[in-house]
Amino acid sequence: MTRNAHEFRVFGIRRSGNHAILHWIMDNQQSPVVYLNNIGRQSVDPYSAWAQIYVKGLPFWRCKPKASSYLKHLIRQESKFRFVNNDPSIRVNFIRRYSPKENLIVSYEDNFLDNEAFLDYELNHDDYVGHSDRRSDILILRDPYNLMASLVKSGRMNPANCDRFIRLFKQYARAFLDNPQYGSVKPKILVNYNDWFVSTEYRIKIGHEIGFSTQGEAFEKVPGDGTGSTFDSLNLSGKASQSKVLERWKSMVEDEFYRSLFKDVELVEMSKQIFGLSVDF
C-alpha cells in the first residue's frame, strides 16, 4: 500500500541554506506533508533519529494529544507545526503510519553520500517509511567561500575537523560536476544555493524539477531549525532576501585559519566551475 506519493531525500552541508530550501519545498506542496529534519549520521530509520518533525495536513491532536499544545495550535492557526525530539507526548508511529502522505521529506546534514547507512535504508525502506510511488534525491550546495565563512564563524568548523568538511564539500561538488552514483544515492535534483537565493528564473526551474509550479518569488522566511542565520540570527525573518548571504566571506578575510582553507587548489577550482566564484585573498 502506498504511504507516500513522493518521497524526497535531501542532502546538504549545514549552513548551506538547507532549511530555507526545505521549507520552501514544503510550503509549495499539497497536504499532507511530513518533513523529518536532520537525521543522525549513522541512523537508518529516519523516524527514530530526527531533530525536528514538521507536519502539514495531519490532525494535530492525533500527532500530539496534549491539550495545552492543541490550544496553542488553534490560537495560532498554524498551517504547519513543529515537534522536537525530546517531547515524549509526540506519537511518532502515528505520523509514520499516516497514509497517504502527499510528500515525505527526509533531510540529512553533513552526511557523505556513500554512507553505508543508506544501503540498509534501501534494504528496509518500506518497513521504515512505507512504500513511496516516486522517490527523488536532492543535493544542495553553497559556494565554499560563504559556506566556510558561516561554518567558521559559528564555531562548527575548526582545525580539528576542517578536513572532513572539505572532503564532504568535494564529494558534493563532484556530484554537481560529474553526477556519479554513490551506493544507493544518486542525486537527481541539484540545487545551487547561490542561484536559488538570487534568481527568480532558477527558483522556477528547480520548482519544476521538484514537481510544483511557482512564480519564483524569493523565500522571505528565516527558519528557526538551526537557530537561523549565523550572522543575522532570526532578525531578518520576513525579509530574508535582504540578508548578505553571498558576502559572508568578506567578514572573514582577516581570519588566518579561514584563509588557509583556500590553499586547497582543487577546492578553489571547484568553486570556479560550479559558482563562477574565486576570491583573491
Whole-number average pLDDT of the chain: 91
pLDDT in tens, 123-138: 999 999 999 999 999 9
> For residue 219, what pLDDT is reported?
87
Domains of the chain: 2-275 (3.40.50)
Q: Report the 10 Å Cβ neighbour count for 8.
A: 26
Q: How far is CA 121 from CA 18, 104, 127, 128, 185, in A?
A: 22, 15, 9, 8, 11
> For residue 75, what pLDDT is reported?
87
> For residue 225, what pLDDT is reported?
57
> For residue 234, what pLDDT is reported?
46
Q: Is residue 198 within 8 Å of 246, Cβ to Cβ?
A: yes
Q: How far apart are CA 265 and CA 211, in angstroms?
A: 37
Coil, helix or strand at residue 219 = coil
Residue type, 156: R
Q: Which residues contact 159 (CB under 8 A, 6 or more apart)?
A: 257
Angle between helices 265-275 and 144-154 (to 10 degrees): 120
> For residue 231, what pLDDT is reported?
44
Three cell numbers, residue 31: 497536504
Q: Is residue 193 within 8 Å of 142, Cβ to Cβ?
A: yes
